[in-house]
Amino acid sequence: MTSAPETTVVLEAGFARALPELAVEWRAAAAPEPALLALNEALASELGLDAGWLRTSDGLAFLLGNVVPDGAIPVAQGYAGHQFGNYSPRLGDGRALLLGELVGSDGTRRDLHLKGSGATPFSRGGDGFAAAGPMLREYVISEAMHALGIPTTRALAVVATGQPVYRDQPLPGAVLARVAASHLRVGTFQYAANLESPDLLRRLADYAIARHYPAAAGAEQPYLALFEAVAQRQASLIAHWMLVGFIHGVMNTDNMTISGETIDYGPCAFMDVFDPATVFSSIDHGGRYAYGNQPAIAAWNLARFAEALLPLLADDQDRAIAVATEALNGFGPAFSHVWSAGLAAKIGLTEPAEDVVDDLLELLRDNHIDFTSFFRALARHARGDREPARGLFPDLARFDSWAARWSALEPDADLMDRVNPVYVPRNHLVEEALTAATDGDLAPVTRLLAAVSQPFDERPGFERYAEPAPDDFGRYQTFCGT
Ligand code: AMP
Ligand code: MG
């Protein structure tokens, strides 16, 4: 095993230096008995980190934030946010730290961030810790999203701390080390806008442009270009979520990135049976963050982003509002474009076919059809093996009539298999794996990761990972603040 000295890891502190008003220097809590639960070797090597070293006690101390490379300035980041529509001026990293930035040989700068690393000045009464189950859950689901080709933060490692965390019961504590294009959020801009320093807001916007949208710097109105670029990325992101049945579950403005990556895997889950009203989060009583509401909520969040940016959009407030409103109107068409093209591809068509798709979605909802497995069954139908899809429909006549219209469009089955996953982290599989992990058996998590890391390749031995939940699994609920 190669072992590199800890000092070879360089963590820059670009954010902490550029925007000190948004950062509080802080250190992770000491972990009494570190033990590695999961390590993403592929990501480690992509980042230029030595996986062999990360497994050593020095490596674990690094992954826990307990030993910090020279020159790094770990910080808790400040941000605000609308949570379920209600504004909180001060959220921030209550159980997280930005350890620093890893700069690749190609110049890409990525945040190395810890979750579950102890209380900070932003903890608001929370303990600052996280249980191993939910951190492994973020690991599995974020890596599944990455393998599905969806922009997301990545999971580098989960390290058990050896210290219990107290929820309904004592649970094993753990820290997730994750990597992101950045942790700038809509809520970061809301926090900066609240401090009423036009200079700070401008520096934050300039930082976001330099880091994520360098082309905006050359635009006639750079801050408007920043807003438009974020809106476009978010429109595409939400469409891609929905094309694989992903429900984020807590699309508060502090959980929406400026980079356009998916962030903060808390109460998220993949939809089983297709229904736009699907909600899994235990606290989402009104269905604000239901599957089908996600585009409207993203637009609502972007309106909050625009409000924060107003002082930069024009000197005159009415003029700034007019400019922002017009830009926001671009979100709907941008979303529809990606969504329609994506749905067409799911049924093997290269051109959007709105009426065919709309009728199909209605058919899926009315017949309670499993969203993920249906599209792979439909690809078999396109190849002449009709039973797997037909057999799913209680209302067979209605399906046959739809399938006749669709077949006439000459769908491409290979295209369907390229865009429709066989394996997603299904709720019953995630629960099974996390229950085992909490009891000390990591094998089911490893196996589930193997399935969802190659979501489009049907493989022998993984049959049960492709199957819908058993009937006795019941209604699924997910939780925040775990
Ligand atoms: P979330 O909706 O999970 O992204 O978190 C919302 C806010 O609650 C963030 O400011 C978190 O840092 C904070 N938070 C969540 N859980 C804890 C905890 N156990 N201790 C301290 N802060 C927490
Ligand atoms: Mg969050």
Residue nearest to atom 16 of ligand 1 (CA): 481
Which secondary-structure segment (H or E) carries 110?
strand 109-115
Q: Which residue has the tokens 């529509």?
A: 85
Query: 206-216: buried (b, 16+ CB within 10 Å) or exposed (e) per residue?
Result: bbbbebbbeeb
Mean pLDDT in the chain? 97
Mean pLDDT of 410-414: 98
The Cα–Cα gap between 260 and 228 comes to 12
Q: Which helix (H) or strand (E) holds 96?
A: strand 96-103
At residue 113, does pLDDT exceed 70? yes
155 lines ligand 1 (CB under 6 A): no
* Cα distances (Å, whole numbers) of residue 166 to 117, 128, 458: 15, 11, 40
Neighbours of 105 (CB within 10 A): 6
C-alpha distances in angstroms, 473 versus 260, 426, 433, 442?
34, 11, 14, 22
Could you read off the pLDDT of 178-223 as tens digits, one per residue? 999 999 999 999 999 999 898 999 999 999 999 999 999 999 999 9
Which pLDDT score, from 0 to 100, does residue 345 have? 98
Continuous segment of H or E residues that includes residue 44: helix 41-46
Rounded Cα gap, residues 93 and 204, in angstroms: 18
- pLDDT value at position 2? 44
407-415 mean pLDDT:
98
Report the nearest-CA residue for atom 5 of ligand 1: 481
User: Using an 8 Å Cβ cutoff, are 357 and 342 in contact?
Assistant: no
At 233-260, the pLDDT tens digits run 999 999 999 999 999 999 999 999 999 9
Token couple for 410: 């000459």
pLDDT at 379 over 50: yes
Please tell me the distance between residue 128's alpha carbon and the centre of ligand 1 in angstroms.
8
Cβ–ligand 1 distance for 133 under 6 Å, the answer: no
Cβ of 187 closer than 6 Å to ligand 1, yes or no, is no
* Confidence (pLDDT) at 166: 97
Question: What is the band of 8 on the pLDDT scale with cuts at 50, 70, 90?
Answer: confident
- Report the pLDDT value the prediction gives residue 482, as an integer from 0 to 100: 83
Q: Is the pLDDT of residue 6 over 50?
A: no
Going across the sheet that includes 154-166, the strands are: 23-25, 75-77, 96-103, 109-115, 170-180, 154-166, 35-39
What is the spatial distance between Cα 358 and Cα 351, in angstroms, rounded to a whole number?
14
Of 424, 428, 437, 479, whose CA–CA distance to 133 is shortest? 437
Confidence (pLDDT) at 353: 94
* Ligand 1: residue whose CA is nearest its atom 22: 94
Query: What mean pLDDT do residues 340-367 have?
Result: 97
pLDDT at 479 over 90: yes
Beta bridge partners of 23: 77
Q: Which of 26, 86, 93, 123 to mutate to test the pocket of ligand 1 (most atoms within 8 A of CB)?
A: 123
46 pLDDT more than 60: yes
pLDDT at 4 over 70: no
Q: What residue numbers does the annotated binding site cover?
A: 92, 94-95, 115, 127-128, 178, 185, 255, 264
Q: Which residues contact 187 (CB under 8 A, 6 or more apart)?
A: 79, 80, 81, 82, 91, 252, 253, 254, 255, 256
What are the backbone dihedrals phi and psi of residue 113, each rounded to the nearest 5 degrees, phi first?
-130, 145
From 91, 165, 482, mutation site for ligand 1 pocket: most ligand atoms within 8 A of C-beta: 91
- If you count them, how many residues does the chain have? 482
Indicate which residue of 50, 254, 272, 417 is catalytic: 254
Whether residue 130 contacts residue 116, with contact meaning beta carbons closer than 8 Å, is answered with yes
Tell me the pLDDT band of 105, cut-offs 50, 70 and 90: confident
- Ligand 1 pocket check for 128: Cβ under 6 Å: yes
Q: Is the CB of 93 under 6 A from ligand 1?
A: yes
Cβ–ligand 1 contact at 264 (below 6 Å): yes
Looking from the CA of residue 481, the nearest atom of ligand 1 is 16
CA 255 – ligand 2 centroid, Å: 5
The token pair at 389 is 């899809």
Domain boundaries, the chain: 2-180, 186-339
Q: What tokens does 185 get?
A: 């959020």
Cα dist. 481→246, 250, 268, 458, 463 in Å?
A: 19, 11, 12, 35, 33
Query: Is 318 part of the annotated catalytic residue set?
Result: no
User: Using one digit for the tens of pLDDT, what is the confidence trace for 276-304?
Assistant: 999 999 999 999 999 999 999 999 999 99
Per-residue model confidence as pLDDT tens digits over 66-104: 999 999 999 999 999 999 999 999 999 999 999 999 999
Q: What is the pLDDT of residue 102?
A: 98
